[in-house]
Amino acid sequence: MQFGIFSVSDITRDPVTGTTPSEAERIDAVVRMAVKAEEAGLDVFAIGEHHNPPFFSSSPTTLLAHIAALTTRLIVTTSTTLITTNDPVRIAEEYAMLQHLSKGRMDLMLGRGNTAPVYPWFGQDIRQGLPLALEHYNLLHRLWREDVVDWEGHFRTPLQGFTSTPRPLDDVPPFVWHGSIRTPEIAEQAAYYGDGFFANHIFWPKEHTQRMVEFYRQRFEHHGHGTAKQAIVGLGGQTYIAKNSQDAHEEFRPYFNEAPVYGNGPTMEQFTEMTPLTVGSPQEVIDKTLGFRDYVGDYQRQLFLVDHAGLPLDAVLDQIDLLGSEVVPVLRREFASLRDPEVPDAPTHAGLVKAKYGDAQPRQPRPNANRGDNVTGGSPYQDSEAVARSPFGEELG
């Protein structure tokens, strides 16, 4: 089972000191968090994507490539990549590039984004968000699996004879998680393709997560990817840890009370009662997190939100240390002992390569020579079957 942290990249005023970090400070801080996550023994770092202040993460692959270069073991991923307002062609290209540079230490999580004004900035309409997400992913899925794609859809301009470059590392597409809170169509798409399903799990009571995960598991089995219990599930979570519970409550309360989204609403006690948030000692975090398994079954990835609401960097680094030293080692042991032996581990690049090739060498696509007009003609790679194509992409009889 993988454990990690995820950030939404908010730049929030620290309600205790009154200081708002600059973009430069917050970007540096997030890089330090990621490096600290690896040092503390965590497995995964995830960053969100936003295109408006007070967030900084407009370009997640740039940040994640940098983090991958500073680390050796950490898996970098997103929480989430916007499958609606991004062109799926650009997602295919950018994340394949990240996959090469990180040597496969990456995956990505797709989400729709719920900020209405962002959509028109990218020529889209939030009212079409769901069909847009579904259609875009259908295309993205093909772009990573077919060297040459002809495609026509409802939203994007058609593609004729298009090759997304670079081809995925070892010709094995990045693993994809689909994030959703209460949209059955997204769970269905994840199940159809045998991809992972990630429940944000932060703002909703557990019943919502439970229902969606159960539906995804049933459909995963229906679509023939394995049994329901073998479906790939990830969960979000949110913690503030101190050695003793009382300190945790006192330290976190001012941040909770003014947090974006739920601040000035429910009390911290109500919120911890009704949602996965845990504020308390390492043992309290362990107990509550182990309880997640009771309603979603054995799952593969647990990410914690530890850096939002204006928490200063030092506090966040302490949180990562506490997670790594006192919480995650126990969770690893406990979850492993409870785990059904038929449940697979979280997918990794090495595992996917092994599944595809066994002991054989992975495919390494080598392009054909430039034909003189900066394209390679009908067959882009030396090992692909030569297909005669007209300059407009149609296959010739």
Partner 1 sequence: MADTESNSAASRTFRLAVVNAGISDPSSTKLLADRVAQAVSDLATRRGHRVQVRTIDLRELLPELSGALASGLLGPKFTAAVDALREADGVIASTPVYKAGPSGLFDSFFQVLDNDLLIAKPIALAATAGTARHALVVDEQMRSLFAYLRALSVPTSVFASTEDWQDKSLGSRIDRAAFELLLLMESGFERDVRGESWRRYQHEYGSAGGSELTIDLDTDLMRLATGGSLKPTGSTIEGIDED
Given the rule CB under 8 A, which residues bind partner 1?
A: 127-128, 130-131, 134-135, 138, 153-154, 182-186, 188-189, 192-193, 203-205, 207-208, 211-212, 215, 223, 261-267, 270-271, 274-275
Question: Sheet holding 233-235: strands in order across?
Answer: 75-78, 44-47, 2-7, 301-304, 233-235, 196-199, 176-179, 108-111, 81-82
Closer of 193 and 357 to partner 1 (Cβ): 193
Evaluate whether 79 touches 7 at the Cβ level (below 8 Å). yes
How many other C-beta atoms can be found within 10 angstroms of the C-beta atom of residue 396? Answer: 8
154 or 366: CB nearest partner 1: 154
* Distance of closest approach, residue 303 Cβ to partner 1, in angstroms: 20
Q: Hey, is 371 helix, strand or coil?
A: coil
Q: Are 242 and 251 in contact (CB under 8 A)?
A: yes
Give the shortest CB-178-to-partner 1 separation in angstroms.
10
Least spacing, CB of residue 265 vs partner 1, in Å: 3
User: Is residue 260 a contact partner of residue 10, using CB atoms and an 8 Å limit?
Assistant: yes
Q: How far apart are CA 247 and CA 254, in angstroms?
A: 12
Q: Which is nearer to partner 1, 262 or 357 (CB)?
A: 262
Number of neighbours of residue 175 by Cβ within 10 angstroms: 22
Handedness of CA 135, 208, 79, 38 (dihedral sign): negative
Decide whether 36 or 141 has the Cβ nearer to partner 1. 141
Closest approach, Cβ 182 to partner 1, in A, equals 5
CB nearer partner 1, residue 61 or residue 272: 272
Give the C-alpha separation, 276 to 291, whole Å.
Answer: 10
| CB-nearer residue toward partner 1: 176 or 317 | 176
From the CB of residue 218, how many other CB atoms can be counted at a distance below 10 Å? 14
Q: How far is the CB of 93 from partner 1 (least distance, A)?
A: 22
What is the smallest separation between the CB atom of 134 and partner 1, expressed in angstroms?
4
